[in-house]
């Protein structure tokens, strides 16, 4: 199974009204290798995982996650957000090898 | 000799057995005491929170009782604590007792989050208690724990 490391999706509901507490779901493709496994030839697979996630809403950080390699492959996270202004919601995932992946969705209100 | 008759022995042992059984039953009904937290987990808690006690309540932890695949175990943590500017849940910690890395994740939140709720998927090496600990902005700690039985190892 091959994956495209860093390919990310952020999902927010449609039809948001000002002040709604909405559900945000985000997924990034990443092996999240613990460093404890070996491959078929017996060589250890080095640790390679996302350890830092930052979520900014407009110009402020709304949430920040610190992860170990214990989060499953292709890490998924879901949480709430109080949508009180129209602004971009940006995810930044960082891994232990210096990889940085970002994805943005615009929070927009229905008329 | 008459004091130690067979009848006396039967009565005495029967009573002793009954007493033990009653204690067992009482222990089953009682909430699990704090000191059932393993030493290695207590060390992690001490490192994270110092000597602040973790109280039971205000946290709802949803995990499966049996996880068929330890590589993907869904976890949902929710708290009824407020997310107001003056007092909010500033962090949600996730700990798995029997994993190589006990402190699995930390979710730092702000009042912008609106509701203390986090859902994700984790790996579990083996059957273990899973603990969710919520830290409020004024330093209070609330926790919940649940046992998850794992049939396929997810950590190598």
Q: Looking at the structure, tell me whether residues B46 and B109 fall in a common domain.
A: yes
Q: CA nearest B135: which of B88, B84, B83, B76?
A: B88
pTM recorded for the entire structure: 0.82
Q: Looking at the structure, tell me whether residues B24 and B44 fall in a common domain.
A: no
- Judge whether B26 lies within some domain: yes
Q: How many domains does chain B have?
A: 2
Q: Looking at the structure, tell me whether residues B52 and B127 fall in a common domain.
A: yes
**Helix or strand holding residue A51 (H, E):** strand A50-57
A74-105 pLDDT, tens digit each: 999 999 999 999 999 999 999 999 999 999 99
- Judge whether B19 lies within some domain: yes
* CA closest to B119 among chain A residues: A78
Q: Looking at the structure, tell me whether residues B61 and B108 fall in a common domain.
A: yes
Using the structure block, give the residue that is written with the tokens 């937290």.
B37
- Judge whether B52 lies within some domain: yes
Domains contained in chain A, CATH given: 8-37+44-107 (2.60.40.10)
- Judge whether B82 lies within some domain: yes
- The complex's ipTM? 0.91
Q: Looking at the structure, tell me whether residues B3 and B77 fall in a common domain.
A: no
Q: Looking at the structure, tell me whether residues B25 and B63 fall in a common domain.
A: no
**Helix or strand holding residue A89 (H, E):** strand A87-95
Using the structure block, give the residue that is written with the tokens 């250890």.
A44
Q: Which domain holds residue B4?
A: 1-30
Query: Which residue from B71, B114, B120 is facing A80, i.e. has the nearest CB?
Result: B114
- Judge whether B25 lies within some domain: yes
* Residue pair A103/A8 in contact by the 8 Å Cβ criterion: yes
B48-62 pLDDT, tens digit each: 999 999 999 999 999
Mutate to test the interface with A, among B71, B74, B123 (most CBs of A within 10 A): B123
Contact B122 A70 (CB under 8 A): yes
A11-32 pLDDT, tens digit each: 999 999 999 999 999 999 999 9
């Amino acid at each position: 199974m091959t994956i495209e490391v860093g390919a990310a999706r952020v999902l927010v509901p449609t039809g948001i009204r000002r002040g709604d507490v909405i559900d945000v779901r985000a997924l990034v493709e990443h092996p999240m290798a613990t460093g404890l496994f070996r491959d078929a030839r017996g060589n250890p697979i080095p640790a390679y995982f996302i350890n830092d996630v930052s979520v900014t809403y407009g110009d402020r950080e709304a949430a920040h996650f610190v992860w170990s390699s214990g989060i499953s492959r292709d890490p998924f996270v879901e949480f709430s957000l109080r949508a009180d202004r129209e602004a971009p919601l940006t995810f930044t995932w960082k891994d232990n090898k210096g990889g940085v992946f970002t994805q943005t969705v615009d929070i927009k209100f229905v008329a | 000799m008459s004091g130690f008759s067979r009848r006396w022995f039967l009565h005495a042992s029967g009573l002793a057995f009954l007493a033990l059984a009653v204690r067992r039953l009482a222990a089953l009904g009682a909430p699990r005491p704090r000191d059932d937290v393993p030493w290695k987990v207590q060390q992690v808690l001490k490192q994270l929170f110092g000597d602040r006690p973790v109280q039971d309540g205000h946290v709802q932890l949803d995990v499966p009782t049996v996880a068929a695949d330890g590589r993907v175990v869904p976890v949902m943590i929710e708290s009824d604590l407020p997310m107001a500017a003056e007092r909010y849940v500033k962090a949600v910690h996730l700990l798995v007792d029997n994993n190589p890395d006990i402190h699995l994740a930390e979710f730092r939140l702000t009042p912008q989050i609106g509701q203390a709720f986090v859902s994700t998927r984790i790996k579990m090496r083996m059957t273990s208690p899973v603990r969710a600990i919520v830290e409020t902005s004024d330093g209070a700690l609330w926790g919940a724990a649940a046992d998850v039985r794992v049939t396929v190892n997810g950590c190598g």
